[in-house]
Structure 1
């Protein structure tokens, strides 16, 4: 059977291993597994949201309001934009897919950082589009400018992941604005702000002001998600914010009822839970310091992170070997070897989780040292 020839050059997105797999493979009890691989909120879903989910469980047989009016209204209030500036997706990655298919074809190209969220590349390859990446692994705007100027006629979308996943670095807001001003009005700039709230909490110079961004630049699409800060990874709710010309065209690609009835209710409630949000941000910043201290003590290079995870880069040890050893202990981290970097990405967990992870990581590093 023949398929689209563009699929031949696409590798499947590799998600973090699920807890259920570790239970099956290693016989570890589910309650003893620590999953810090997928940047989920370690606080779990807030109790207020859990109550809302239970309250609305009897609506599971009903299609959602396809206009998504209530959630759009809540987001519009949060960001001080109009409802027409918002599009809701099944995760923000669905909005990425809409943007690629709305703007590109086989003669197009995207421009990304050397290492960044792989779905940008995967969706572009669906169309047979060309991929341009900086040689720098982290975001280097000077290199972005050079590549863009050299291939301006091809590049239809520039992806800026701010802060960057899976590395964690973050550009200053002012530098982002200066760069966008030099981009042609017909080139779409996607600012992926999946971790923007974490960056802004740590350093206001890193936080993107969404309203200001989209009203200053007519060629920018901002992406947000409920999967990280709001603890709704399993509900799959993301959104895009842009001028109406952009959102109206993306909406033409949206299938009806693409977000569930219960997911919409959960997301709407999550926006209200200020105590949960503040607790998440404070825990993340405090516990991040524990990992930074460990890295310094053990001479491990880190990337200054503005997200809810930290990246450990190893010089003389194999990241996959470390990952495999931790997995056998029931600790799920993220090996970045597939991204071309000898590193482990660790979601910042709860205090007891982080304490145990670092204890086992220390033991693993000592075992590997003895074997070398």
Structure 2
């Protein structure tokens, strides 16, 4: 059987190992497994969300509200935008897929950071586009601009804060960069972790309304999978000019967000106190990782997210370390596939982090 030849160059995206798989592979009891690989909110979602979702379970036989009125109303109110500026996807990565198919083809070039979210490259390969990468590990906007002038890309992806490194771009510097980009180049500002970045440092905060007011060619991405604790509900969104959103809508399948997911995301926006408390706990616990890295004399990239990237030295191996931790029920993310001798660890609860330090101390 023949398949699309473009698939030959695509590697399947590897998500963090699920707890169920570790149970089957290593015979470890679920209660003894700690998952710190996928940057989920370890405190879960707001209790208000849980209560609201439970009430609508009897309606699961009916299709969702495809107009997404309640969630759109909540998001447009939060960001002071109009419905026509907004598209909602099954996770923000679905919006990335819409963007790629709407803007790029086999003649296109896509400019991304050397180490960044893997789905940019995977979706680019769906359409046969060429990937152009910077040399710098962290976002260097001067380097981005030089490559932009040289390569004339159709799409530029800026991930801030960046996954999987955790660094963030100064918002004012980014605005100055965007001012130099031609309106025919679409710039995607992926802010999946922005709630964390903005909390830690106001100078990193990207405001969608400001992007709308100043630029014709920028789309802002957000998600409910991280700070809002709804990774299992798969809800993300894009905010941009009406003409861009109109084109993306041509690619959106009907009912792409479930009834439960729509309700969960809508109610999550009503409980900002819960989210802010989770973020505060995250950065309190992150200090322990900084102390751990200092004690073990390994580098840690300053993080504006809910995870840390620990860069190992030449006597250590990230793949071997990740595997050794996995066999003891600790799931972290090996970054060797990104060309880094490093592991990415979600900042968990106090107890989860203590377990990581206990296990990792014996291995590093």
Task: Output the TM-score relative to the length of structure 1.
Answer: 0.97
Pick one of 211, 220, 225 that aligns with 1:213: 211
Query: How many residues get paired?
Result: 363
Q: Compute the displacement of 1:364 (Å).
A: 1.6
Q: Compute the displacement of 1:46 (Å).
A: 2.1
Q: Compute the displacement of 1:25 (Å).
A: 1.3
C-alpha offsets along residues 82-104 of structure 1, whole Å, 9 cap, x if unaligned? Answer: 11111000000000000011111
1:257 paired to 2:258: no
Q: For 1:61-76, list aligned pairs within 5 A.
A: 61-76=61-76
Aligned twin of 1:351: 350
Q: For 1:163-182, list aligned pairs within 5 A.
A: 163-182=161-180
Aligned twin of 2:272: 274
Aligned twin of 1:313: 311
Q: Compute the displacement of 1:275 (Å).
A: 2.4
Q: Compute the displacement of 1:45 (Å).
A: 2.4
Contact 1:323–1:333 under 8 Å retained in 2: yes
Q: Structure 1: how far apart are the matches of 2:276 and 2:142?
A: 35
Q: For 1:1-372, list aligned pairs within 5 A.
A: 1-152=1-152, 155-315=153-313, 316-365=315-364
Q: Structure 1: how far apart are the matches of 2:23 and 2:46?
A: 25
C-alpha offsets along residues 322-353 of structure 1, whole Å, 9 cap, x if unaligned? Answer: 10111111110000001110000000000111
Q: Structure 2: how far apart are the matches of 1:344 and 1:305?
A: 13
Q: Structure 1: how far apart are the matches of 2:78 and 2:21?
A: 38
Contact 1:59–1:262 under 8 Å retained in 2: no
3-state SS of the aligned residue for 1:344? strand
Q: Structure 2: how far apart are the matches of 1:130 and 1:21?
A: 35
C-alpha offsets along residues 39-95 of structure 1, whole Å, 9 cap, x if unaligned? Answer: 000001221111111111111111111111110110000011111111000000000
Contact 1:71–1:264 under 8 Å retained in 2: yes
- Structure 1 residue ranges without an equivalent (≥5): 366-372
Runs of 4+ in structure 1 deviating by more than 4 angstroms, as ranges, are none
Q: Compute the displacement of 1:11 (Å).
A: 0.3
Q: Structure 2: how far apart are the matches of 1:238 and 1:142?
A: 29
3-state SS of the aligned residue for 2:154? strand
Q: Structure 1: how far apart are the matches of 2:76 and 2:31?
A: 39
Q: Structure 2: how far apart are the matches of 1:146 and 1:19?
A: 44
